[in-house]
């Protein structure tokens, strides 16, 4: 029988930090698969890190103030960034361009502190990828 089912308190976990990402981030958010992590910076950029290689896959700029919120779409294709510059930007990470294409930009009448996708959102990966960059 499975040992973890017999004694669930006997599972070993790391007790120290194994490695670090020098991301200069104010906070981070894992994608639903757990393979990538998005980090928000105070300079208005966000970065996507591959946890297998521990390298930055993409740097996303577009805000003029600190990024205040990050959220991944249900299938990790889109990334939402919100900022105190009154903008919420949704980026298509499956675009073939070096810079991720802006899928949508929403402008509000006040600084945005928090934003997220709906849990059953329509951003599932079925959108057409633009061929122009």
Q: Where are the domains positioned within the chain?
A: 23-107
Residue 67 pLDDT exceeds 90: yes
Element (H, E) at 5: helix 3-6
Averaged confidence pLDDT in the chain: 78
**With bands split at pLDDT 50, 70 and 90, how would you rate the model's confidence at 29?**
very high
The mean per-residue pLDDT over the stretch 19-47 comes to 86
pTM reported for the whole predicted model? 0.73
Distances (CA, A) of 54 to 23, 26, 103: 10, 18, 27
CATH architecture for the domain at 23-107? Beta Barrel (2.40)
- Name beta bridge partners: 68: none
17 has pLDDT over 60: no
Query: What's the pLDDT at 56?
Result: 87
pLDDT of residue 125: 42
At residue 70, the pLDDT reads: 93
């Amino acid at each position: 029988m499975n040992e973890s089912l017999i004694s669930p308190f006997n599972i070993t976990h790391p007790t120290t930090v194994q490695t670090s990402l020098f991301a200069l981030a104010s906070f981070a958010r894992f994608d639903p698969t757990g393979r990538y992590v998005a980090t928000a910076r105070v300079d208005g950029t966000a970065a996507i890190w591959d946890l297998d290689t521990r390298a930055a896959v993409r740097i996303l700029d577009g805000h003029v103030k600190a990024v205040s919120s990050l959220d991944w779409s249900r299938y990790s294709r889109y990334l939402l960034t919100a900022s105190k510059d009154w903008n919420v930007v949704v980026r298509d990470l499956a675009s073939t361009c070096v810079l991720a294409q802006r899928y949508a930009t929403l402008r509000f009448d006040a600084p945005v502190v928090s934003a997220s996708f709906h849990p059953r959102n329509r951003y599932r990966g079925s959108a057409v990828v633009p061929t122009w960059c």
